[in-house]
């Protein structure tokens, strides 16, 4: 009989007897997503999320778990020492108030005077649960079992105009804060009256389905649409002199969801592990570069078998160790020198390319910044030198170009590596490592010579019917083009060339190349060479892709093949590309070429244009005057520029060509009209089939006078607008 009675009592006791509270105030934030609800633990420092519970249990009398939302954490221990650390919220599927234990199992609590409908916004403060719904009201429930109104819903206000999807209590002030989704305005809510006061815009909008505080008074909101976690600094909001605005700063990237709610023990720091056991790696540059947690410093969660830089996995820190405490200078028992993933092989010299060896434990993405102007941040233009750069396991070469305008002296560089893309110089990352390095920028008297002036273009226009005169519309291949010569002590150190493909008015297929006269192909330092294609959209924005070496291996002289066939660089539904006014294609292609030399080249190699030219694409028809496809042997250079070693001189003096090698006359007819030309501006080319002399009548006098007259022939006031491409 006694045994049966005990069994009966155990079977009939409320499930509350067995639900265990949380033993401590957890540092992780809790994220509730989906229906049925999955509970995640989120490390706000890095954004890393892991599933804590994918089965919150089914309530009595219900057939499904449903969605739990509007959750808040109650960090309450009564005067007698009884622990009441539970989570409270609403089961929105079944319209019931629930409590969740340390295993995230839900239990219904029988509240009285419950308003109709369901609720998605809630938090706990002072052993009371507060909940809210726009256009319905603001309420609270007493969670004190000894109180006369235990679990009785009290209406605070029926005025609820703010579009909150979560809010949270400040742990020190006891005030309630939320961000209006539509306006992005931060509001403080009076918990006793429901009155709201706007504190200004946060600068961000969206569905902020989860809100959290930490013990220092920082407010975190997670946006459902993209999972981004923002931090709003309310750490001194109760102190004199603290004023708006309160900007939402991107802090980390967490999980995204269409149905989000969050809760956290606001009395916990973000990191409470003792020194040496933290799982977060911080940078150690001075704090103006955003290194410490308070400055939203660069930081990575250390993951077992995860990616890192160098041969030594990073150690964890509770916060950034700056100055003499950094990994670079202090190797005490709790601080391993793990800054071994970055090696600067050459000095950082203004205007020159320098090699940085990046050693990675596995494949991953590299981001890198250099403070070129030494102003204590990585915010300035051109200071990010690597963006989502895919590196392989082992040693990788990163070529870093120091701007000619860099400030000399000591500065800092930051390298971040991991599996994520798109991370900034600050904020959290879910894996990987950050390394900060002190650098020295020196000046060895290097100068840049721009042609034309810095940031401008010349126009190159080619006719591809040579040696036949043809229609002379000068639009078969048209490029914007500019060069930079890097010079020291009168010698050439590097040549940079840039271009944009403006038009193709030819049915023949042509390639485009650049020769550097008087320089040999094997003079190029290929370890620092740069060659990139950029595909442009209608707004001029582009995606840049590194290309293989363009150096023509069959030539002794230095020739860079930009494209074997310019038609491969663009897409159009028209017969030609940007030569017919009825076809409004945008500029689609740009290139960047950088040719650094192993040894300085003599003064005679310094040029302005160098030698851009077109050639016939291999295995393509290029006119009936040729008995076979001429391919690489057919070239057209600017007037009076000699051909390369690949060209066939047998094509000279055919048809209308009057080239004469003995007097260095090339690519002109008897009237001195060329088959290609450089125009010293961003010139508008003729339409298809329109003779250049019809579009720009003054050009004839310019040529026949051997450039003595009409040197402004290409200016807009001297053209016939109806005959040019708009």
Report whether the peptide linkage leading into residue 604 is cis, meaning its omega lies within 30 degrees of zero. no
The C-alpha atoms of residue 498 and residue 530 are separated, in whole angstroms, by: 11
Q: How many CB atoms lie within 10 A of CB 14?
A: 8
Let me know how many helices (H) and strands (E) the chain has, helices first.
3, 43
The sign of the CA dihedral 103, 105, 107, 113 is positive
**Which residues are paired to 399 by β-bridges?**
355
Q: Is 500:457 a contact under the CB 8 Å cutoff? A: yes
3-class state of residue 17 by DSSP:
helix
> Residue 83's pLDDT is what?
95
In order, the DSSP letters of 484-506 are EEEEETTEEEEEEEEEEEEEB--
**Per residue in 251-267, pLDDT tens?**
998 888 777 899 999 99
| Residue ranges, CATH 2.120.10, the chain | 2-263
Helix (H, G, I), strand (E, B), or coil: what is residue 126?
Answer: coil
What would the pLDDT profile of 608-638 be if each residue is shown by its tens digit?
999 999 999 999 999 999 999 999 999 999 9
Q: What percent of the chain has pLDDT above 70?
A: 94
**CA dihedral sign of residues 268, 269, 274, 280:** positive
pTM of the full structure: 0.77
Place of tokens 């235990």: 150
Lookup: tokens for 309 = 């830089």
Q: What is the location of CATH 2.60.40.10 in the chain? A: 280-442
Q: Which fold has domain 280-442?
A: Immunoglobulin-like (2.60.40)
- Residue range 363-379: mean pLDDT, rounded: 97
Strand order across the 106-108 sheet: 68-74, 86-91, 96-100, 106-108
Give the pLDDT of residue 4. Answer: 42
Phi-psi region at 147: left, alpha or beta (left = phi > 0; alpha = psi -120 to 50):
beta
The CATH number of the domain covering residues in 2-263:
2.120.10
Above 70 in pLDDT, residue 171? yes
Query: Is residue 633 helix, strand or coil?
Result: helix
- Which pLDDT band, with edges at 50, 70 and 90, does 344 fall under? confident
Question: In this structure, what DSSP letter does residue 332 have?
Answer: -
């Amino acid at each position: 009989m006694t045994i049966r009675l005990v069994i009966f009592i155990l079977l009939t006791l409320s499930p509350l007897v067995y639900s265990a509270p949380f033993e401590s105030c957890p540092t992780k934030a809790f994220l509730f997503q989906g229906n049925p609800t999955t509970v995640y633990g989120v490390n706000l420092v890095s954004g890393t999320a892991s599933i804590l519970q994918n089965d919150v249990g089914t309530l009595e009398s219900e057939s499904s778990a449903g969605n739990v939302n509007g959750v808040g954490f109650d960090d309450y221990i009564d005067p007698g020492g009884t622990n009441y650390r539970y989570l409270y919220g609403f089961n929105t599927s079944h319209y019931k108030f629930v409590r969740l234990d340390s295993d995230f199992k839900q239990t219904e609590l029988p509240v009285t005077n419950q308003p109709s409908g369901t609720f998605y916004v809630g938090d706990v403060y002072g052993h009371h649960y507060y909940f809210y719904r726009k256009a319905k009201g603001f309420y609270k429930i007493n969670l004190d079992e000894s109180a006369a109104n235990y679990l009785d819903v009290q209406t605070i206000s029926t005025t609820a105009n703010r579009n909150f999807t979560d809010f949270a209590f400040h742990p020190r002030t006891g005030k309630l804060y939320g961000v209006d989704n539509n306006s992005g305005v931060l509001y403080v809510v009076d918990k006793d009256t429901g009155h709201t006061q706007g504190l200004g815009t946060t600068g961000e909008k969206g569905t902020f389905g989860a809100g959290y505080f930490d013990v220092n008074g920082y407010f975190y909101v997670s946006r459902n649409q993209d999972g981004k976690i923002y931090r709003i600094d309310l750490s001194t909001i109760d102190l004199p002199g603290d004023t708006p605005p309160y900007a939402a700063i991107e802090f980390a990237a967490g999980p995204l969801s269409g149905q989000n709610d969050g809760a956290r023990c606001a009395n916990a720091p973000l990191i409470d592990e003792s020194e040496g056991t933290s799982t977060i790696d911080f940078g150690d540059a001075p704090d103006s570069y955003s290194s410490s947690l308070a400055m939203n410093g660069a930081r990575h969660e250390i993951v077992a078998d995860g990616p890192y830089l160098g041969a030594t996995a990073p150690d964890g820190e509770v916060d950034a160790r700056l100055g003499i405490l950094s990994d670079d200078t202090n190797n005490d028992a709790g601080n391993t020198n793990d800054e071994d993933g970055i090696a600067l092989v050459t000095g950082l010299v203004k205007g020159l390319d320098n090699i940085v060896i990046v050693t990675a434990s596995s494949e991953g993405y590299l981001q890198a910044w250099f403070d070129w102007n030494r102003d204590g941040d990585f915010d300035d233009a051109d200071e990010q030198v690597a963006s989502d750069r895919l590196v392989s396991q082992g040693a990788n070469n990163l070529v870093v170009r120091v701007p000619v305008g860099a400030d000399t002296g000591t500065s800092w560089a930051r390298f971040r590596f991991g599996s994520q893309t798109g991370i900034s110089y600050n904020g959290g990352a879910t894996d990987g490592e950050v390394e900060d390095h002190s650098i020295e920028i020196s000046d060895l008297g290097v100068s840049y010579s721009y042609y034309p002036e810095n940031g401008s273009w010349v126009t190159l226009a080619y006719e591809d019917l040579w040696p036949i005169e043809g229609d002379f519309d000068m639009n078969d291949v048209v490029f914007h083009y500019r060069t930079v010569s890097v010079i020291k002590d009168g010698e050439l150190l590097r040549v940079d060339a840039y271009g944009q493909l403006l038009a193709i008015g030819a049915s023949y297929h042509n390639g485009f190349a650049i020769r550097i006269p008087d320089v040999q192909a094997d003079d190029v330092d290929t370890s620092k060479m740069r060659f990139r294609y950029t595909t442009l959209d209608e707004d001029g924005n582009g995606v840049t892709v590194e290309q293989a070496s363009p150096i023509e291996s069959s030539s002794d002289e230095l020739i860079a093949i930009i494209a074997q066939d310019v038609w491969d660089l663009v897409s159009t539904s028209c017969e030609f590309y940007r030569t017919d006014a009825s076809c409004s294609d945008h500029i689609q292609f740009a290139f960047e070429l950088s040719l650094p030399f192993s040894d300085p080249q003599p003064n005679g190699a310094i040029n302005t244009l160098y030698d851009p030219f077109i050639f016939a694409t291999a295995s393509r028809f290029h006119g009936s005057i040729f008995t076979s496809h001429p391919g690489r042997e057919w070239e057209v250079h600017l007037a009076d520029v000699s051909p390369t070693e690949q060209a066939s001189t047998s094509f000279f003096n055919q048809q209308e060509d009057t080239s004469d090698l003995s007097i260095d006359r090339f690519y002109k007819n008897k009237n001195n009209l060329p088959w290609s030309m450089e125009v010293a501006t961003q010139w508008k080319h003729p339409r298809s089939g329109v003779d250049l002399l019809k579009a720009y009548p003054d050009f004839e006098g310019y040529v026949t006078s051997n450039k003595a007259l009409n040197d402004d022939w290409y200016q807009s006031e001297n053209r016939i607008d109806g005959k040019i491409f708009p």
